[in-house]
Structure 1
Amino acid sequence: MSGNPIFGSKNQSANWGTGSNAGSPVGFHESGNLSADQLQGMYQQPSATSHDTGRMTVGDTINKTILTLGLVVLGAAAGWAVPILMLPGALVGFVLGLVNVFKKKPSPALILLYAVAQGLFLGGLSQFLNGLYPGVAIQAVVATFCVAGVTLALYRSGKYRMSPKLNKMFMIAMIGMVVFSLVNMVMMMTGTVDGMFGMRSGMLGVIIGVVAVLLATYALVSDFTMIEELSRQGAPAIMAWRGAFGLTMTLVWLYTEILRILAILREE
């Protein structure tokens, strides 16, 4: 994963002027000429934000993630009320997701639009499945928060971290999952397989769903690692949007997979 362009190289901090050779902070050498009162005044100043320093911080990324997830919730409320918005939301969300993934410089506007579109899709899908299996939507929401919370706790404790071996397994599993999903979608559209989820029904569907949830948790670990690495390297403040987008996309995926698993279990 170290070759991923989003992480940058280990020398990226030097390019951003935050490496060990970047020189002393402005005014450092002159601090010896300040009086005790002046130094005390400097220490009492509020901590610099990402806006002040022009650098990405974990706190700023969290704030932006809360904003994007808030828009997902608002979009979901609209999609729940008007389920027909699910299809355009899915299409727009898919396109904007690809654009944001491959865009070198994060675009806050496109990321926020992505959050709204995904909200419309999730709201319509949740309303539809909740109509068939009452209570499944709230169960999926609670389960998503629980899984994400446990993943974060394990990451912070150092028990769940990225590794070269896990990265290879993750990429192979992801490629297999994408290929299977595309084949399943084509077979459903052509009427080759029946059922709401096509080949992702029954016990096979549950097993595939559990694998997808495990992949989503590793994607969360990748997001956490990326955010900490970029913050440590002194990445530009705009990169906080990259972290917010990654977390939002992964949480949307996690919720969708959990919702699918619960619907399959209720269908049995």
Structure 2
Amino acid sequence: MRSSNPVFSRRGFTRGNDYAGFETAGARGGTPYGGAGGNPYAQAPRNPYDDPRSRSDQQLEEMYAAPAASPAQTGRMTIDDVVTRTGITLTTVAVGAVLGWVALPDNYGLAVGAALIAFVLAMVQAFKRTPVPALILGYAAFEGVFLGVLSRIYNEAWQGAPVQAVLGTMAVFAGMLVAYRARIIRVTARYQRIGMAVAIGFVLAMVVNLLFAAFGGSDTLGLRTGALGIVFCLLGIGLGAFFLSLDFKRVEDGIRGGAPRQESWLAAFGLTLSLVWIYLELLRLIAILRD
């Protein structure tokens, strides 16, 4: 099954019947070059003309004595690569947020402009065949500016709401990571289908609500206030946690399947998108609860 998320669906992160991820070469009838069911990043088959028997005893001894190549030496993605790139991306978001908070107070128009630029950069990256760090960091910077301005507006209306939302986002991330590592959550194809169906319905409902608010002059559907608003915020947070579980699975599969190191930027991009989603939903939930 291929993922509905365009960020990952073009790079082999979502292959397989039971789990969405890389597979070893030749698994389930696949070819070692990434054909149907195969891992596109699997190693090519051994050269049939490279017969170990043709080597001298000294050459064989040197081969066995040589240390094993690490993933970093072979250009493969490691967990350190993912952590480093994710840290860089989130730091860029934080710097942009500080800039938006300090330099652009209460300027909601510029915040919306920054959000639109971030959206365009994210879409361009989503449909590129390879990760482009400049696009990812550009998205992070503009998204950070938007979050900074928006957070200050929320903080002036509900003192301390941004701090609570940040702590809540960290808690959701830690909880999902523990649940995933303990295999309490298993990312199967059925799990993905159900989650994506709910996500599509959620986004459509929010778009309709936005249209009613823009042309009707009020929050006609009531998705941003009252009990229904709380339910939708909780649903949004749950969807953010769902996206995090997909991100964790893709990172695990990428490392196990030997994805190129540059794919760690893609993993950082996906994790950042999920964390920003959770933060915004938490910010909105806190505002409703304290209103």
Tell me, yes or no, whether TM beats 0.5. Answer: yes
- Matched ranges for 1:1-268 at <5 A: 1-2=1-2, 4-6=9-11, 7=13, 9=15, 13=25, 14-15=32-33, 18-19=42-43, 21-22=45-46, 32-34=60-62, 39=65, 43=67, 48=70, 50=72, 52-81=73-102, 82-83=104-105, 84=107, 85-194=110-219, 199-267=223-291
SS of aligned partner of 1:253:
helix
Amino acid at match of 1:33: E
Kindly indicate which of the two structures has a greater share of residues assigned to helix. 1
The question of whether the paired residues in 1 share the 8 Å contact of 2:76 and 2:258 is answered with yes
Task: Give, in angstroms, the shift of residue 189 of structure 1.
Answer: 1.3
Rounded to whole Å, the distance in 1 between the matches of 2:85 and 2:256 is: 18
The question of whether the paired residues in 1 share the 8 Å contact of 2:173 and 2:241 is answered with yes
> What is the total number of aligned residue pairs between the two structures?
258
SS of aligned partner of 2:262:
helix
TM-score by length of 2: 0.80
Task: Give, in angstroms, the shift of residue 192 of structure 1.
Answer: 3.7
The question of whether the paired residues in 2 share the 8 Å contact of 1:56 and 1:235 is answered with yes
User: Structure 1 182/206 Cα, relative in aligned 2: closer, same or farther at 3 Å?
Assistant: same
Q: Which residue of 1 aligns with 2:29?
A: none
User: Structure 1 8/179 Cα, relative in aligned 2: closer, same or farther at 3 Å?
Assistant: closer
Gaps of 5+ in 2: 4-8, 16-21, 26-31, 34-39
SS of aligned partner of 2:230:
helix
Amino acid at match of 2:206: S
> Which deviates the most, 106-115 or 91-100?
91-100
User: Structure 1 31/78 Cα, relative in aligned 2: closer, same or farther at 3 Å?
Assistant: farther
User: Structure 1 31/255 Cα, relative in aligned 2: closer, same or farther at 3 Å?
Assistant: farther
Rounded to whole Å, the distance in 1 between the matches of 2:215 and 2:273 is: 29
Task: Give, in angstroms, the shift of residue 172 of structure 1.
Answer: 1.2
Gaps of 5+ in 1: none
TM-score by length of 1: 0.86
- Pairwise CA RMSD: 2.8
User: Structure 1 8/210 Cα, relative in aligned 2: closer, same or farther at 3 Å?
Assistant: closer
User: Structure 1 163/149 Cα, relative in aligned 2: closer, same or farther at 3 Å?
Assistant: same
SS of aligned partner of 1:190:
helix
Greater relative contact order structure (CA < 8 Å, 6+ sep): 1
Rounded to whole Å, the distance in 2 between the matches of 1:78 and 1:70 is: 12
Percent identity (aligned):
35
User: Structure 1 216/31 Cα, relative in aligned 2: closer, same or farther at 3 Å?
Assistant: farther
CA deviations over 1:153-199 (Å, ceiling 9, x no partner): 1101111121233212111111111111111111111134249x963
> Which deviates the most, 81-90 or 64-73?
81-90
The question of whether the paired residues in 2 share the 8 Å contact of 1:90 and 1:117 is answered with yes
